[in-house]
Structure formats: C-alpha cells, structure tokens
Amino acid sequence: MHCSYSQLPQALVRAFAKSLASALLLAALVGSATSAEAAILHGDFSDVPPGGVMYLDVTESSFSNPVPPVLYGAPTVTGNLLDFDPTAFGVSSSGGASNLVDGQLNFTIDALPGAGLTAFSIVEGGDFSFSGVTPTPSTFVSASAGATVSITEVDGAALLSPIPVFASDIFVTDYPTTGGAPSTGLLPWSLVTFVDLASALPSGSLATKVEVAINNQLSTASTPGNQAAIAKKDFKIIPVGDLVPDEIVPEPSSLVLACLVGLVGTGRRRVR
C-alpha cells in the first residue's frame, strides 16, 4: 500500500492507536493474572450438621510476602470453629534491623436458617524469642489483628446498605533487661480479638451473613547485637450467637427414596 506524504501522519496515528490498544489489553490481561496469583482461594468449609454456619470463599493474600508460599494454609472446621495451623507464618530481625510479615484472610460467614451471630472471636497464638548480650526495650516483637466486617444480612433478610464493624487488638513485648540474656528461649504469646456484631444490630437480631477481611501482622525490631523472632502457630475463628439451625426436613424425593430402600430391605428379609 502506498501512502502519500499527507496521508502518512494519519496512517501512523492509526497504527499507533492500534498498537496502544493491543498493549493496554495485554497489560490488563497480565495484571489480572498477577492479581489472581497474588491470592490463594482455599474454598468453602463447613461441618453441617452439627455446625450452624458455613465459611465461604476462604482466601488468603499478603502484601509483604509473595503468595505462594502460603502463610495460613487451608483450614479445617469442627462444628462452627474455623481452625488454621500455620507452619510458615513468622518473621525475625537482627543487628538493628526491623521486619514485618502481613497476611490477610477474606471469607463470608453464612448462617443456616434459624441460626445467626452476635459476635465472633479471632483467637491466635504462637511463640517468640530474644537473644543477644545487650537486652533493651528497643528490641521487641508484636502481633496485631484488625477485622473489617460488613454485615450484609440480618435475620435472614439482605440489607440494602451493609453495616460496617471494625475491631483490632495487639500483643507486644520487648527483650527483658533482666533475666533474658543471652537468650530467652521460646516463649508463648496469645491474642484474642473480639468482634462485636450485636452492638451494631437492632435488639434481639442476629447477623446471618457477614463478609470478613482480617489483616494480621507479625513484626520484629532489633538493636545491634540482638535478635528477635516471632511465629504464629494457631489461628481460629470462633463464632458466638444462636448457632443451632432449624431442623433440616428431608425433601419429598429423599423421603420416597428412603422408603423404597426400606421396602427392598424388608422384602429381602422375607425371601430369606
């Protein structure tokens, strides 16, 4: 194709626009893939019955660590308790440096008909240690949790405007100046963050669907000649409320199937 001098700028503009559009599309696709790789979807978890709630779309991510590797790992459920047993959620620092590891959990708590929540607790713990010949309060470890919650359903009715709730707490301790050097050895830590839902609800009401985002951080700071380390070994979500759902009545088709199975069994016994 031949382009005259007057046509050349327009042709270049078209070519540039086409290339730019292709580049933007590619960047969007790459960005989407990167975002997807930055989070790990563990899935849905429940123990129904006897449990009265389900944990949906349990996902973990981190802005401080590449994911994978995982920090929390896949949970288990016993009754209504969601339990994580982290094996690689820890951080350390030495020689005057500081460090931080951040892990975020996102999930939805969905109550079965007849059940609902008034609160839930974030219960976590692990171990920490200090070492070095010059103990100082400037060498310390901390663990913190912040829960950003949206109540999207109350007493089984979806809300047009979700109700926001926030709760946070922190554990912090420093290298003791007496009795610590040259090493404290491993010591336990624990933290309970209580998320009160009832205070945001009408009296007597229950939250029946709740979207939860928990930001969880471990941090250390050290001074020259000292080391600090902290690790998370246990992490639980414990719901509070009326957690006994309505009795689940089998569907008619299930009842018919059960009756047929019973009749077949009776017939076999008679033949014998």
Task: Examine the domain organization and report whether 130 and 17 are in the same domain.
Answer: no
Lowest mean pLDDT among 8-17, 32-41, 197-206: 8-17
Task: Examine the domain organization and report whether 172 and 104 are in the same domain.
Answer: yes
Per-residue pLDDT at 51 exceeds 50: yes
Task: Examine the domain organization and report whether 14 and 140 are in the same domain.
Answer: no
Report yes or no: 121 and 190 within 8 Å, Cβ to Cβ: no
User: What is d(CA 261, CA 267) in angstroms, rounded to the nearest whole number?
Assistant: 10
Token pair, residue 29, equals 């696709």
Q: What residues does 148 pair with on adjacent strands?
A: 166, 213
Per-residue pLDDT at 25 exceeds 60: no
Res 5: pLDDT? 35
Find tokens 């009832």 and name the residue: 198
Q: Is the dihedral of CA 64, 67, 68, 72 positive or negative?
A: positive
Cβ-proximal residues to 178 (8 Å cutoff; 6+ apart), any chain = 135
Res 198: pLDDT? 98
- The string of pLDDT tens digits covering residues 61-86 is 998 877 667 899 999 999 999 999 99
Task: Examine the domain organization and report whether 18 and 57 are in the same domain.
Answer: no
What percent of the chain shows pLDDT beyond 70? 76
Task: Examine the domain organization and report whether 226 and 138 are in the same domain.
Answer: yes
Res 112: pLDDT? 96
The model's pTM is 0.77
Domains of the chain: total:
2
Q: What residues does 77 pair with on adjacent strands?
A: 82
Phi, psi of 271 (to 5 degrees): -60, -40
Per-residue pLDDT at 267 exceeds 50: no
Per-residue pLDDT at 269 exceeds 50: no
Q: What is the mean pLDDT of the chain?
A: 83
Q: Is 272 inside a domain boundary? A: no
User: What is d(CA 51, CA 76) in angstroms, rounded to the nearest whole number?
Assistant: 13
Per-residue pLDDT at 137 exceeds 50: yes
Confidence band of 256 (pLDDT split at 50, 70, 90): very low
Task: Examine the domain organization and report whether 174 and 197 are in the same domain.
Answer: yes
Res 180: pLDDT? 72
Task: Examine the domain organization and report whether 94 and 8 are in the same domain.
Answer: no
Task: Examine the domain organization and report whether 71 and 3 are in the same domain.
Answer: no
- The string of pLDDT tens digits covering residues 85-134 is 999 999 999 999 999 999 999 999 999 999 999 999 999 999 999 999 88
User: What is d(CA 227, CA 229) in angstroms, rounded to the nearest whole number?
Assistant: 7
What percent of the chain shows pLDDT beyond 90? 67
CA-based angle 258:260:262, to the nearest 5? 70
Mean pLDDT, to the nearest integer, of 247-271?
49
Res 15: pLDDT? 43
Q: Is 205 inside a domain boundary? A: yes
Task: Examine the domain organization and report whether 164 and 185 are in the same domain.
Answer: yes
Cβ-proximal residues to 98 (8 Å cutoff; 6+ apart), any chain = 219, 220, 221, 222
| DSSP element (H, E) containing 27 | helix 8-37
Closest CA to 37 of 9, 13, 68: 68
Task: Examine the domain organization and report whether 68 and 112 are in the same domain.
Answer: yes
Q: Is 260 inside a domain boundary? A: no
Token pair, residue 138, equals 């400037």
Phi, psi of 264 (to 5 degrees): -60, -45
Per-residue pLDDT at 216 exceeds 60: yes
Q: Is 66 inside a domain boundary? A: yes
Closest CA to 232 of 221, 216, 245: 216
CB atoms within 10 A of CB 82: 25
- The string of pLDDT tens digits covering residues 176-193 is 887 777 889 999 999 999
The secondary structure of the chain in percent helix, strand, coil, rounded to multiples of 5, reads 20, 50, 30
Res 30: pLDDT? 38
CB atoms within 10 A of CB 11: 12
Task: Examine the domain organization and report whether 231 and 112 are in the same domain.
Answer: yes
Q: Is 226 inside a domain boundary? A: yes
Q: Is 187 inside a domain boundary? A: yes
Domain hosting residue 18, numbered range: 1-31
Q: Is 99 inside a domain boundary? A: yes
Task: Examine the domain organization and report whether 190 and 238 are in the same domain.
Answer: yes
Closest CA to 94 of 131, 65, 64, 127: 131
Q: What residues does 232 pair with on adjacent strands?
A: 89, 126
Q: Is 220 inside a domain boundary? A: yes
Per-residue pLDDT at 195 exceeds 70: yes
